[in-house]
Amino acid sequence: MRKLILRGLAERRSRLAGVVLAVFLGVSLVAGSLVFTDTINASFDKLFERSLKGSDVVVTPREVVRQDTDEPPPFSDKLLTRVRRTDGVEAASGAIFAVVRLVDSKNENLGAGFAPNFVSSTVPKRFDPLTYTDGRAPRNGTETAIDSGTAERSGLKLGDSIGVAGDRSVQRYRVVGINEIDGTSFGGSSSATLTLPAAQRVAGREGKFDQLLIAGDDGVSAEALQARLSKVLPRSVRVETASQNAARETDEINEDFLGVLRTVLLVFGGVVTVVAAFLIFNTFSITVAQRIREFGLLRTLGASRRQILYAVVGESLAIAVVGSLAGLVGGVGAAIGLRTLFKAIGIDLPSSGTVFEPRTVVVALLVGLLVTVIASLVPALRATRVTPMAALLEAELPEARKRGKALPVITVILAAGGLALLLIGLFGGSTGGAAAGLMGGGAAAILFAVSLYSPKLVKPLAGVIGKPIERLRGLPGRLARENATRKPGRTAVTAAALMIGVALVTFVTVFASGISSSLANSIQKGVKADLIVQNSDGFSPVPAELPAEVARVRGVAETSSFGRVKAKVSGDKSKGQYVSGVQPTTLGRMFKLDFEQGSAAALRNMTDRQMMVRKSYAKDHGIDAGDTVTTLGANGRRARFRVVGVYEDEANVLSPLIVTMRAQVRDFGDRRVVGTYATVTRGADSGVVEDRVDSLLKKRYPSAEVFDQQGLQDEQESQVMPVLGLFYGLLALAIVVSLFGIANTLSLSIHERTRELGMLRAIGLSRRQQKRMIRYESVITALIGTVLGMALGVAFAALVSQPLEEDGFVLSYPILQLVVILILAALAGVLAAISPARRAAKLKVLEAVSYE
């Protein structure tokens, strides 16, 4: 039997190549996702560990509320004296580590894409992780050193000038050194080293530190020192050994970002694998159908059903092993591909050496083997139903008549269950990962249900799609349509594989278009200001001096600035909630606010002990005017606010909770502003004023940008693009696999119709006509999948956007893009037909007509 399996494989190798390729691609993406994220993880780990070289214990601020930026509030430099006085401390040093914007001599960004820029302060040699490849460390307030990656990227040399835009206007420094941390990678991040006073000043942290690096006396262990220091230092700081600190930092990156990234990538890997499973199922179904005589003969010769089952499953197992092993190797390539893809959209992550965990091998092999074998199980079982008589008759395979009754029931259950999951996920009140899981599971179940039902849809859809082709192209079109509907089950499974990819692409497209139109809508409806100044990344704070300078620009009538902090809020289970400190007297002239409770006057007169709450938040948390809300700030301070209004902000820019700016500083310890909105004086040309603000920013505040309403809208839309690009890139892989599916099914079907094709060629069908016929069949199959996928994608988008409506989400249908997808799908069909058509063209007419 084993010999039979191997011979069979060798015989059909060209037809099974598609299956191997599909397994390969699925496994590659799964393995690649793991390798990619593991590599980043290890790179960060290495970076954190190496940067604490020479330290036994590290003191950092304790984050009461986890902040979005990697910047907990710094602590007082007085702690350093206390540390130095502690028994067992040999040396200690304070350091600054702050997120800033680094710019070149023309004030253009030095960093790559979205990667953050940092400044750090020089530390004594024993703690210094940096090695200088060129020049030396800065010695005074006019000097700096930059990392070698940035120097390479930007071509900066010793003696060049760079700017640091931190908490104040851009400060210039002369590059006196190029440094690196041995064996690590910063990815696209840029880092500048300054002397301690310079770093403190540029970060706005005079008299403060972000970090204390501590080395113990000989014979004092890091743990002992940690214990001693914990006793003398306040609760507001965290005292950790160097390795604890590095591990925690890595964990946090994992939790905040890498974990999500890994899950997202694996979901896409899963999608590709499911699509591959469709292809495998279809290929095995067809080959089993074609080998019915062979199975009949084997049964006649005394092979048991079990042996037939083993023969087919054995074949799939062999394919699975080859495809999975190749996929494992391909995973390294996929990881590189993912890195390139991320880099292309501006996310250049650190990567030092490829990390191949044993876990990756296990997961990838399991996925490959299980998916292949499970997908081939149904065809294999069907093969066992072949009777010995089949060898003698040219019989059609028993089209699983028993399945006939159970199938509709399964379909309905799947569809209903899927819809239920989707709805629970949407409206059931669960949040984050759980909701996404429910919705994803529901969507998957619905997709399966539709693909089970799709054989019934093939005929009508092919009719609708095929009619115009037939009208235009005559006989080849007609035959293509008929051939596509000949084995509806086969066409349906082939199309369903494409359907999955198209459904997701459509969903993403419709959703992205919804985001765009919602942004447009909310800005038009909700913003009254003429000019908007914010950080060019869209969320980070702007320098502290900026609002006042903008206000002084000629033609600016009035400004209103607001900040954004994260705090714990009573009655709110989330880890942290956004609170905005605003300037109450002017806010109402920048935003169009509606008050469900309270009034515009109540806002104008809001005191530092009062708060206003966004309508949706108030509703979800049962807050009304007159209630008291308690907050816990990142500075560890508790504060009580009396709610004096419930507002609706169409612009969706302000946080769910607003307090006065003074309260933000006092109760949350953060004076930073994230947005300055301005009106221009009556009669002034707002374009001219915008230019004036723009030149001020270019000169002094390169990290900030000014927009008019339209500009802000464009800017926000453009921020959606990279993610969209990433999703498209990943989904393209699923679509490629389904195209292999179309090509495979076509090849196998053509093989079945050899004699027919021969006859057609004998009676005068030209090669070109034959090619056209095959191409149209492929196009029809592709369009069936696309139409189904598009309908589902639109439906999903419409459903998922339902609960978002109260946050101002407006669904819009990007007709143009959908038409483009349709055209691309038709082209993809043409593409998929190339190889089968070529093979059919090679068919010898003579052999085909005398073929039995």
Partner 1 sequence: MTSEPIVTATDLHRRYGEGDAAVDALDGVSVAFERGGFAAIMGPSGSGKSTLMHTLAGLDRPTSGSVMVDGIELADLDEDELTDLRRDKLGFIFQFFNLLPVLTAEENIVLPLSIAGRDPDPEWLNQLIEVVGLGDRRTHRPAELSGGQQQRVAVARALVSRPAVVFADEPTGNLDSTASAEVLRLLRQAVDEFGQTVVMVTHEPHAAAYADRLVVLRDGKVSHDGQAGDEGQVLELMKDAG
Q: Which residues bind partner 1 (CB under 8 A)?
A: 474-475, 478-479, 482-483, 486, 755-756, 759-767, 769, 845-846, 849-850, 852
Under 8 Å between Cβ of 532 and 677 = yes
CB-nearer residue toward partner 1: 466 or 793: 466
Instruction: Give the shortest CB-403-to-partner 1 separation in angstroms.
Output: 23
CB-nearer residue toward partner 1: 579 or 760: 760
CB-nearer residue toward partner 1: 594 or 847: 847
Which DSSP string corresponds to 718-774? HHHHHHHHHHHHHHHHHHHHHHHHHHHHHHHHHHHTHHHHHHHHHTT--HHHHHHHH
Taking the C-alpha atoms of residue 119 and residue 111, their distance in angstroms, rounded to an integer, is 12
Instruction: Give the shortest CB-491-to-partner 1 separation in angstroms.
Output: 13
Instruction: Give the shortest CB-766-to-partner 1 separation in angstroms.
Output: 5
Instruction: Give the shortest CB-851-to-partner 1 separation in angstroms.
Output: 9
SS3 state of residue 136 = coil
380 CB-side CA count, 13 A: 19
Give residues with Cβ within 8 angstroms of 790, minimum separation 6. Answer: 502, 503, 506, 818, 821, 822
DSSP secondary structure code for residue 624 in this structure: -
CB-nearer residue toward partner 1: 574 or 766: 766
Taking the C-alpha atoms of residue 427 and residue 414, their distance in angstroms, rounded to an integer, is 20
CB-nearer residue toward partner 1: 305 or 755: 755
Instruction: Give the shortest CB-397-to-partner 1 separation in angstroms.
Output: 16
CB-nearer residue toward partner 1: 477 or 526: 477
Instruction: Give the shortest CB-743-to-partner 1 separation in angstroms.
Output: 21
Instruction: Give the shortest CB-33-to-partner 1 separation in angstroms.
Output: 44
Instruction: Give the shortest CB-398-to-partner 1 separation in angstroms.
Output: 17
Among 454, 463, 465, residue whose Cα is nearest residue 495: 454
Under 8 Å between Cβ of 186 and 48 = no
* Region of residue 730 (phi > 0: left; psi between -120 and 50: alpha; otherwise: beta): alpha
Give residues with Cβ within 8 angstroms of 738, minimum separation 6. Answer: 275, 278, 279, 494, 497, 498, 500, 501, 785
Instruction: Give the shortest CB-774-to-partner 1 separation in angstroms.
Output: 14
CB-nearer residue toward partner 1: 611 or 760: 760
Q: What H or E segment, with its residue span, contains residue 569?
A: strand 565-569
Give residues with Cβ within 8 angstroms of 360, minimum separation 6. Answer: 31, 34, 35, 38, 328, 331
**Length reported for the chain:** 852
Among 23, 32, 499, 99, residue whose Cα is nearest residue 277: 23
Instruction: Give the shortest CB-846-to-partner 1 separation in angstroms.
Output: 5
CB atoms within 10 A of CB 641: 27
CB-nearer residue toward partner 1: 484 or 632: 484
Taking the C-alpha atoms of residue 357 and residue 36, their distance in angstroms, rounded to an integer, is 11
Under 8 Å between Cβ of 608 and 662 = yes
Instruction: Give the shortest CB-835-to-partner 1 separation in angstroms.
Output: 21
